Structure 1
Amino acid sequence: MSKDSPTTSAARELAIADLRERIAALESGVAKRKGCLPFGLPDIDAVLPGGGLAYGALHEFAGGGSGTVDGAAAALFAAGVAARTKGKVVWCLTRPDLFMPALAQAGLHPDRVIFVESDREEDVLASMEVALGYGGLGAVVGEVVRLPMVSSRRLQLAAEKTGTMGIAVRRWRRQTEANDFGQPTASTTRWRVSVLPSEALPVPGVGRARWLVELMRSRAGACAEFCVGACDEQGRIHIPFGSGDRQDTSGRSRHSA
């Protein structure tokens, strides 16, 4: 019986290894998602590496101030992002105070959300890590006040393993807690959302909500700020006509589309 050549043996081993990976993915029901989730707005997507929010990564969202109004806007912005992913969304929290009709208006239907309530923020972070490692989910959202570097690294690694998007919503109860947002984390992007006066209508009434969305940090990308219309029923934001200029970190003004 003739022996295989070294080249043939190497090719066989590669084929077997590839087959094992495919079988493991089928058995676990997880197909690692790659790429990015674009906003569909050229001005925003252009400053994000890959043209959108990366899958398999952790992203941070927080209100522009320590109040509940900006915090709610940040949560809705995060909900709109999660709504545009495919699959179930796990939302981990310590305070069961989410207003589901508001999430639905931001595109995230209650039937897609699995809530995980914990007594401590440490348990929220642990639940996020487990959910991210499970795979097959659209996104994993966690509401936390603090996000230690070690915890954020664990979440980032868990997200990379399965390709699931991780979202940390930083919610403050007092101004002193908001100061923690300046501490370094392993998040790929960091966003700050502040409420602006609603869009003007040609008749008396309340127009679509507007936000100042600041990209505070983007790994291998630039920072910028945008005046946007709040998420619609599909989770999409838009740049209102005549919203003015937005600034990048170099101080140069670039017109919003």
Structure 2
Amino acid sequence: MQTTAKNALVSELRERIQHLEGGAVRSRTVLPFGVPAIDSVLPSGGLAYGALHEVAGGGSGTVDGAAAALFVAGIAARTKGKIVWCLTRPDLFFPALAQVGLRADRVVFVESDREEDVLANMLEALSYGGLGAVVGELVRLPMTASRRLQLAAEKTGTIGLAVRRWRRQTEAHDFGQPTASTTRWRVSVMPSEELPVPGVGRGRWLLELMRSRAGECAEFLVGACDDKGRIDISTRAGDRQDQTSRSVHSG
């Protein structure tokens, strides 16, 4: 009997170890940006699946968050599967999403009256699994709520993307509060690239990686997402030379 009990215990421990190892492998799966300067400062070389990531607008786009939404849409466009986008303000400009590679037929929009419902819908979608990404537009992201979202993302391996949008400038101070997000980004609009002929060139962003768990903080001047959801390092003459000048180790 003792031998049988020991064998059963060993089998159970092996199953637990295999489960944990499987989770570890899944947590290391990443979505690379395809830009070496950016991927090199992110753990495992890209944006982690099975994790929550925060994005906010900067500069004149702090309140409307348009550039932040397009950056997130570009990330979502490069995943596989349906995208669930949770929001309270149905003011997304669909042609702009299509221009960064996110087709309308891939997105399920979930509109709520209250921000608490946005959090609940994000949690349910992340827990469901099998999705390309789950996006939520939020004014506040309390630590407890962010932990729940992070744990749900870890369990299913889905990318969670929180777009921080505020109704007024003063609310943006909340972005400095700690959360359980794996990375935190800020996207500010910069003057577009100059063309040799009159016209509007490709948009450019100042992309700031403000927090990266077990990684580095950095900032990059990038070309805005193309129709495949990809960004690239801006090469315009006179751009800042040290794209990672704010490189600081972050826990």
Task: Decide which of 116, 119, 139 is 1:125's aligned counterpart.
Answer: 119
Give the C-alpha shift of residue 12 in structure 1: 6.2
Structure 2 CA distance for aligned equivalents of residues 219 and 39 of structure 1:
17
Matched, 1:172 2:172: no
Query: RMSD of the TM alignment (CA)?
Result: 2.3
Task: Decide which of 76, 82, 87 is 1:88's aligned counterpart.
Answer: 82
Contact 2:59 / 2:189 at 8 angstroms: preserved in 1?
A: no
Contact 2:99 / 2:227 at 8 angstroms: preserved in 1?
A: yes
Matched, 1:60 2:57: no
Give the C-alpha shift of residue 219 in structure 1: 0.5
Q: Which residue of 2 aligns with 1:248?
A: 245
Deviations 1:201-240 (A, max 9, x none): 1111100000000000000111000000110110000112
Matched, 1:189 2:199: no
Deviations 1:101-129 (A, max 9, x none): 10010111000000110001110001000
Task: Decide which of 136, 141, 147 is 1:142's aligned counterpart.
Answer: 136
Give the C-alpha shift of residue 10 in structure 1: 6.5
Give the C-alpha shift of residue 41 in structure 1: 0.4
Q: Structure 1 165/47 Cα, relative in aligned 2: closer, same or farther at 3 Å?
A: same
Structure 1 CA distance for aligned equivalents of residues 7 and 68 of structure 2:
56
Task: Decide which of 145, 156, 163 is 1:162's aligned counterpart.
Answer: 156
Contact 1:74 / 1:193 at 8 angstroms: preserved in 2?
A: yes
Moved more, 65-74 or 77-86: 65-74
Structure 1 CA distance for aligned equivalents of residues 43 and 13 of structure 2:
32
Task: Decide which of 100, 103, 107 is 1:106's aligned counterpart.
Answer: 100
Higher gyration radius (CA):
1
Matched, 1:198 2:192: yes
Q: Which residue of 2 aligns with 1:220?
A: 214
Correspondence list, 1:3-42, <5 A: 17=15, 35-42=29-36
Matched to 1:54, the amino acid is A
Deviations 1:139-163 (A, max 9, x none): 0000001101110000000000000
Aligned residues: 237
Unaligned stretches of 5+ residues in structure 1: 22-31, 252-257
Q: Which residue of 2 aligns with 1:75?
A: 69
Structure 1 CA distance for aligned equivalents of residues 145 and 175 of structure 2:
14
Q: Structure 1 146/156 Cα, relative in aligned 2: closer, same or farther at 3 Å?
A: same
Q: Percent of aligned positions with the same letter in both sequences?
A: 74
Matched to 2:75, the amino acid is V
SS of 2:187 mapped into structure 1? strand
Q: Show structure 1 runs of 4+ deviating over 6 A.
A: 4-8
Give the C-alpha shift of residue 67 in structure 1: 3.9
Q: Which residue of 2 aligns with 1:254?
A: none
Matched to 1:140, the amino acid is V
Contact 2:61 / 2:188 at 8 angstroms: preserved in 1?
A: no
Q: Structure 1 182/9 Cα, relative in aligned 2: closer, same or farther at 3 Å?
A: closer
Structure 2 CA distance for aligned equivalents of residues 68 and 175 of structure 1:
7
Unaligned stretches of 5+ residues in structure 2: 20-25
Q: Which residue of 1 aligns with 2:22?
A: none
